[in-house]
Chain A
Amino acid sequence: MRECKIVSRKFDIKNSHTLEVARLHDGYRTLQKLQEYAPTEIIQIIKDANLRGKGGGGAGAGEKWELMPQNSDKLSFLAVNCDESEPGTFKDRQIITKDPHLLIEGILITCYAIKAHHAYIYIRGEYKQYQDILQFAINEAYEAGLLKECDITIHRGAGAYICGEKSALLESMEGKRGHPRLKPKQKEPEWFFGNPTLVNNVETIASVPFIVQNGADAYREYGTQKSPGTLLFAMSGHVEKPGVYEAEFGTSMMEYIKYYGGGIKNGKKLKALIPGGVSCGVLTAAECENLTLDYESLRGIGSSLGTGGMILMDEDTNMVEVLKNILEFYHEESCGQCTPCREGTGWSDKLVGKILEGNATKEDIDKLLDIANTMNGKTICVFAPAVSSVIVSFIKKFRDEFEDRV
């Protein structure tokens, strides 16, 4: 296991959230280098590094940056997504509390590249105490004169999972309900009050200083060909040492769990694992055996890497109960805009509840799959298709547990 700390380099240093400590450890050093490059050259470096968005989707960051106009009479904006709400995910909060200046440095580079002069950090409402640490760092940066050409404003959400979806995030920032927007047919930037806007995850932006400082090749030395670099993978649930540990893409999943997590809690056996937040299809222990942690291998077995926040479940876990818990979450968090999602999350939650109580029939399992099918591909955003694939993965892999209860 090769330890590699790109984003988490300063996490263990005392007072790492302060400007003084950040500066002692090369913080903001990239800014001097920035003058050597034109904005488009920075974008090219990010593209060459093949930096992929770390909020869950894994889309190329450079490609997204390129959609921002270099010459426009409208203002350009950056919106940093810190709405971290995917269950099992708690990595962005590590960055904003342990190295907020790395994020600010990344924001300054990004804004230079996309010619933006104002960045917003949309932070989930529940993170008030972490927001205060981030605001402290921003104030320090203002006082030190680092934010002369680019303003940073924190925008606080108020409890809505869906606002992590980039267009819902912007709707929310515009003072509306967080309803995702229809996707345009052609590739284009996002829009904030009609102004071109780039939305990127906290960790994506925090990875930028390393790449600009050390070059695309240095970043590509880590990870795999298609998933270069590192990710703040995390573990929670039935694991001895839960937490966030940065590792390179392509790391063996079971080795990672053993090395950083110390194995399954209380020496039990692994039964199932959800790889990157509950919206990724569940895996059986057997499927995890020879798996590596990268986008391609997880997609290869019909799940996805998501945010890299793994939830582990031991041999005594009741999988019907787990699905019920996940569906309660979705039922609560569906934004209600599209009927298949609004109704589907409610009905599937109800049906699994019925199965859990032992009041269901075998037809109810098929009905559940039918609802999942109705939710897939018929809505504005990917919320409902994710719910659908989660339901299908549970029934497919643990069908006997569901049938035992009908």
Chain B
Amino acid sequence: MSFVFSDENLLKIEELKKRYPSPEALCLPCLWMAQYQDGFIKLDAIDAISEQIGIAPMEIYRVVTFYTMFKLSPDEKLNVQVCKTLSCKLCGSDEILQHLKNKDVKITHVECLGSCGTAPVMQINDVNYENLTIEKVDTILEGLS
């Protein structure tokens, strides 16, 4: 098995086990740890999680494919997630998407990010960038490259 949880994560897992009535509850938390550790969820990370929490690997795989934020392969480019849901659309997300097409990034259309009052919004590496304009997008991407 090539995937091993880091010592820090193993410690976290032991701490978390005390906080739930059953270790099965650690499914999502462990998947997050595995994803942050490698940038995506390796298939043998699923086996490692299975050993920790006692859910069959296939069941964990079903969970991974259900939740849109879990990735089974790494991002090769900067992943820019643009909200395309109604409030963002009404406030110009189409123009933002159009503009991003000329950039060397991976564009992901996502559903509502909870930034309707500060639309349009994009999320990069867990951070929301709000009240976007074309100029603002350029500045943000320059800062990240």
Contacts and interface: CB of A to CB of B under 8 A. Distances in A.
B68 A127 contact: no
Q: Which of A157, A160, A176 has the most CB of B within 10 A?
A: A176
Closest 6 CB pairs of A and B: A175-B27, A158-B67, A236-B116, A159-B69, A159-B68, A128-B126
A35 interface: no
Contact of A326 (B86, B91, B113, B116): B86
Contacts of A243: 117
B117 A126 contact: no
B46 interface: no
Contacts of A156: 28-29, 32
A195 B21 contact: yes
Contact of A234 (B24, B69, B117): B117
B55 to A, nearest CB: 6
Interface of B: 16, 19-22, 24-29, 31-32, 53, 55, 59-60, 62-63, 66-70, 84-87, 89-91, 110-119, 123, 126-128
Contacts of B89: 325
Given A158-B70, A244-B117, A322 B28 contact: no
A193 B26 CA distance: 13
Interface in A69-121: 75, 84-90, 93, 118
Contacts of B126: 128-129
A193 B86 contact: no
Contact of A125 (B27, B67, B84): B67
8 contacts: A88-B112, A125-B69, A155-B25, A159-B67, A242-B116, A311-B86, A313-B90, A325-B86
Contacts of A176: 27, 59, 63
B87 A88 contact: yes
A311 B90 contact: yes
A388 interface: no
A317 interface: yes
A120 B24 CA distance: 15
B67 A237 contact: no
B16 to A, nearest CB: 8
Given A87-B111, A90-B115, A126-B123, 8 more contacts: A126-B128, A128-B127, A129-B127, A160-B68, A174-B25, A192-B21, A274-B86, A329-B112
Given A174-B22, A325-B86, A329-B85, A160 B117 contact: no
B90 A317 contact: yes
Interface of A: 75, 84-90, 93, 118, 124-129, 151, 153, 155-161, 172-178, 192-193, 195, 234-238, 242-244, 274, 278, 309, 311, 313, 317, 322, 325-326, 328-329, 332-333, 335
B114 A93 contact: yes
Nearest to A176: B63
B81 to A, nearest CB: 9
Contacts of A160: 66-68
Contacts, number: 145
A174 to B, nearest CB: 6
Contacts of A175: 24-28, 53, 55, 60, 63
A397 to B, nearest CB: 16
A66 B119 CA distance: 40
A75 B28 contact: no
Given A129-B127, A175-B55, A242 B66 contact: no
Given A126-B123, A242-B118, A325-B85, A161 B111 contact: yes
Given A159-B68, A178-B66, A278 B86 contact: yes
A155 B63 contact: no
A151 B19 contact: yes
Given A322-B86, A326-B86, A89 B116 contact: yes
A88 B57 CA distance: 37
B128 to A, nearest CB: 7
A88 B83 CA distance: 12
Contacts of B29: 155-156
A234 B116 CA distance: 9
A84 B113 CA distance: 9
A159 B81 CA distance: 13
A193 B20 CA distance: 10
A195 B22 CA distance: 11
A88 B90 contact: no
Nearest to B49: A175
Given A175-B27, A177-B66, A90 B116 contact: yes
B90 A157 contact: no
A343 B66 CA distance: 17
B69 A90 contact: no
B65 to A, nearest CB: 9
A242 B117 CA distance: 5
Contacts of A124: 114
Contact of B90 (A93, A118, A173, A238): A238
A153 B29 CA distance: 11
